[in-house]
Amino acid sequence: MNFRVLLAGGVAPLALASHGVYAAEAPATTTNAAVPAPEDAQTTSVGTGASDSGEIVVTARRRQETAQDVPLAISVVGGEHIDNTGAFNVGRLQQLTPTLQFYSSNPRNTAVNIRGLGAPFGLTNDGIEQGVGIYIDDVYNARVASATFDFLDVKQIEVLRGPQGTLYGKNTTAGAINITTNQPTFDFEGKAEVSFGNLNFVQAKAAVSGPITDTLAARLAVSSTNRRGTIYNVTSNQWIQGQDNLGLRGQLLFKPSDALSITLAGDYNEQDAACCGSVYVRTGTTQRAADRQFAALAAAQGYTVPSTNPYDRLTDLDATLQAGNKIGGVSLKAKWDIGPGTLTSVTAWRFWDWQPQNDRDFTGLPIVTKSQNPSQQDQYTQELRYNYSGDRLDFVLGAFGFYQRIDTQGTEQHGSASTKWNLAPSNALYNSNVLNGLTALNTQYLKNASVAVYGQASWKVTPELTLQPGVRVNYDKKDGFYQRRVFTASGSEILIDGTTSPVKTAQLGIFTPQTISPKFSDWNFSYDFTASYKVAPGILFYATYAKTFKSGGINQNGVPTDAANNPILGAATVKPESVQHYEAGLKTEFWDRRAILNLSAYRTDIKDYQANVNNGQFGVLRGYLANAGAVRSQGVEADFSVRPSERFNVYVNGAYTDATYRKFVDAPCPPELSGGASSPANCDISGQRLPGVSKWSLSFGLEANAPVTFLEQEGQVYFGYDGSYRSNFSSNPTPSIYTWVDGYSLSNFRVGFRTDDGFDIYGWVRNAFDQNYIDQLFVGPGNTGLIAGLPGDPRTWGVTLRKSF
């Protein structure tokens, strides 16, 4: 057990031991009163939000209102449900919200999509925006790597589906994830929990909050997660894909009067696990010559994979693996009630430090011996907004500023197996080992600035009819730099100087020197209009049209070259995405508000969709961005939850998503059509499905409880179940017969005992039926037909002890 677990684990038992000193707060009762103040709002939810308090309070429109009154598709997951289901990061959140997709081969190469849209599938490119905005306490997190960290003292999470460009900005063409943490309180309170499980799983969480003076309150939270990896590396004799996470957050609330509150918050999150690798899944025939297919190449060097069954969870990667990841920052939030409105200022600085090491050949051969691109980011944001609420008119006016600087220093190196792997036996250099020690040093930086002004109004034309227009004007500017310098094993630099030789030609086929300074700037205008009508008490119908965009981008990983190895500068930038969105929905509450049924149907059309184009070679160009002509996502969603009594609740959420390329005539070809001398340069994949999208996805669960007396303690014994299902999906930017992932279903169970004074102990099992499934597949470099992948977590089980006071 390391220092991180000891730190959190030391705090948790101390908090647990104090449960006899402090009485638990009385539970809230169901009421039809107005929306409570933030510190009083009860937001525990299951599925769509059937809660103990009867009302789920959200801030999706930058003001407090109940979820059923908000005219947009929104999934609300409460902090208690997150903890109970083990959803400790956004990756697990997708099992509770079926329209959200999460893919991560490592923290940097992470994508969070909603309805199949958001970020292009494949290697991350810093030169573009994400399409799903991640906000934590009103602070925008530009790096999606933040989604891989543990949820820390979370109160609730709102998943907003569909474009949110008016209030949340250009980076939310697919939706937004709005995370609210628990805030400092002027009444002393705390909570702590410890969990133990198989795979050496140990997790400890603790939070304590209370007054310092009559006007100053503080809250401190800590979380630590440690788990052995799920894949065994027979080369390094270690488990990889483990978890080693530490999270800290501290907050100070200064409230000199009821009208003014100022919150200073700081957080630090660190990951340091042996990560990230892959396993052999299969091979498929490409258009390369027979002696250049994977099986022949491996046999020529006497290589065999440790297992051809991916669920043996064995790998033999020989390069060093590392995924050091640190994210944190400081924010200052001030809220001042002035007359009928509230003025809010949110100032924040965040940093990201990424220290990776990877094995890019996906094998135990020393083909690629180094692949590491450490990055450092600083981002600064400032938002100022005014909220007004009246009898007939509500509105929000605001301004937002953003600046980001990313610096990356990369090293890629080939080893002793590279020459025979990359050169044909007919090449005179086949036995020369000319590629051994070939090294590329990559340097890049990005300066990204954005400013915007926005407004949204809600006009209550009648008590039943509300019209909601919104606008946003945005200016973006990106300045980038990318340089790749190439060196031989002896340290001599390879230059593009007009000279050629067989050795140089072979070396340039692996790494090509390149220097570019891409730039982009543009103004954009977004607007939306929503009409909502209360057909009857508890029944709300709404319709929305939105015209929005995702900012243009620059290629920060290099661009393709011409026949003379000169960069094609026309590919250095990509156009903004132009988005048109149509949606209609119905929100209903019935059975005396014990049941909720929400329906939505939508269609999103995107022109100049920013797609990832992968290159089949090792180091010439790993991947770059290009504009696909058009993309469409359309579908239907249903969210249902019911709580017939305080003893039972159940939820079912489902989505049908049809997300396809409508026009992409110059897409990269799939591996089965690549690698040969006569292979097409590109392929028309118009009409094919977008990667990572299941047509059908479901989440469902229930909890039942009964009153009991146990060890002289009054409480409840309870049983909970949460399940999810998704149909098959493509795991490659261009659909391939080799990269379809079969659909699968997961089941999680928990059973425990809890008391009215906040004590809770329960056992849990996740992936209870030990379902074999694949999270993601990767096409191996070089067009050899190798397909590697990440198997999903096997069955895990454990026990959790929790105390609130």
Per the domain annotation, does 182 fall within a domain?
Answer: yes
**Adjacent-strand bridge partners of 587:** 540, 598
User: Phi/psi zone of residue 153: left (φ > 0), alpha (ψ -120 to 50 degrees), beta?
Assistant: left
**pLDDT on residue 332:** 98
**pLDDT on residue 111:** 83
Residue 631 φ/ψ, nearest 5 degrees: -135, 150
How far apart CA 247 and CA 402 sit, in angstroms, is 25
Residue whose pair of structure tokens reads 């009991």 in the numeric block:
708
How far apart CA 373 and CA 360 sit, in angstroms, is 12
pLDDT, tens digit, 9 for 90 and up, residues 373-401: 999 999 999 999 999 999 999 999 999 99
Per the domain annotation, does 649 fall within a domain?
Answer: yes
How far apart CA 529 and CA 457 sit, in angstroms, is 10
Distance of CA 232 to the CA centre of its chain: 26
Per the domain annotation, does 631 fall within a domain?
Answer: no
198, 210 in Cβ contact below 8 A?
Answer: no
Tokens of 36: 């409570």
Most confident range (mean pLDDT) of 39-53, 120-134, 162-176, 402-416 is 402-416
Per the domain annotation, does 683 fall within a domain?
Answer: yes
**pLDDT on residue 567:** 87
Per the domain annotation, does 302 fall within a domain?
Answer: yes
Q: Strand 729-730 relative to strand 713-726: parallel, antiparallel, unpaired?
A: unpaired
Stretch 239-254: mean pLDDT, rounded? 95
Model confidence at 615, in pLDDT bands (50, 70, 90)?
low
Q: Chain-wide mean pLDDT for the chain?
A: 89
Angle at 26 between CA 20 and CA 28, to 5 degrees: 150
In the chain, the largest separation of any two C-alpha atoms, in whole Å, equals 87
Stretch 536-545: mean pLDDT, rounded? 96
Per the domain annotation, does 542 fall within a domain?
Answer: yes
pLDDT, tens digit, 9 for 90 and up, residues 491-527: 999 999 888 899 999 999 899 999 999 999 999 999 9
Complete edge-to-edge strand list for the sheet that includes strand 231-233: 238-240, 231-233, 314-315
The Cβ of residue 773 has, within 10 Å, a number of other Cβ atoms equal to: 17
251, 263 in Cβ contact below 8 A?
Answer: yes
**DSSP readout, 317-347?**
--S--EEEEEEEEEEEEEEEEETTEEEEEEE
Model confidence at 781, in pLDDT bands (50, 70, 90)?
confident
State the total domains in the chain.
1
How far apart CA 375 and CA 350 sit, in angstroms, is 14
> Is pLDDT at 36 greater than 60 in this prediction?
no
> Is pLDDT at 7 greater than 50 in this prediction?
no
**pLDDT on residue 568:** 85
Q: Strand 341-357 relative to strand 375-389: parallel, antiparallel, unpaired?
A: antiparallel
> Is pLDDT at 11 greater than 80 in this prediction?
no
Is the pTM of the predicted complex or chain greater than 0.75? yes
717, 706 in Cβ contact below 8 A?
Answer: yes
Model confidence at 35, in pLDDT bands (50, 70, 90)?
very low
pLDDT, tens digit, 9 for 90 and up, residues 211-220: 999 999 999 9
Model confidence at 88, in pLDDT bands (50, 70, 90)?
low
Per the domain annotation, does 132 fall within a domain?
Answer: yes
How far apart CA 634 and CA 582 sit, in angstroms, is 9
- State which residues form the domain around 586: 3-518+527-550+572-621+636-804
**pLDDT on residue 491:** 95
> Is pLDDT at 368 greater than 70 in this prediction?
yes
Per the domain annotation, does 59 fall within a domain?
Answer: yes
Q: Strand 243-257 relative to strand 216-227: parallel, antiparallel, unpaired?
A: antiparallel
**Adjacent-strand bridge partners of 349:** 330, 380
Amino acid letter for position 352: W
Residue whose pair of structure tokens reads 């957050």 in the numeric block:
249
CA atoms within 13 A on the CB side of 707: 3
If residue 714 lies in a helix (H) or strand (E), which one and from where to where?
Answer: strand 713-726
The Cβ of residue 172 has, within 10 Å, a number of other Cβ atoms equal to: 29
Residue 330 sits in a domain whose CATH number is: 2.40.170.20
Q: Which residues lie closer than 8 Å to 88 by C-beta, 6 or more apart? A: 82, 150, 151, 203, 225
Burial zone of 382 (CB within 10 Å; 0-12 exposed, 13-18 middle, 19+ buried): middle
**pLDDT on residue 123:** 63
> Is pLDDT at 106 greater than 50 in this prediction?
yes
**pLDDT on residue 618:** 52
Q: Strand 729-730 relative to strand 648-663: parallel, antiparallel, unpaired?
A: unpaired
> Is pLDDT at 540 greater than 50 in this prediction?
yes
> Is pLDDT at 39 greater than 50 in this prediction?
no
pLDDT, tens digit, 9 for 90 and up, residues 581-610: 999 999 999 999 899 999 999 999 999 999
**DSSP readout, 760-784?**
EEEEEEESTT----EEEEEEPTTSS
551, 578 in Cβ contact below 8 A?
Answer: no
3-state secondary structure 668-684: CCCHHHCCCCCCCCCEC
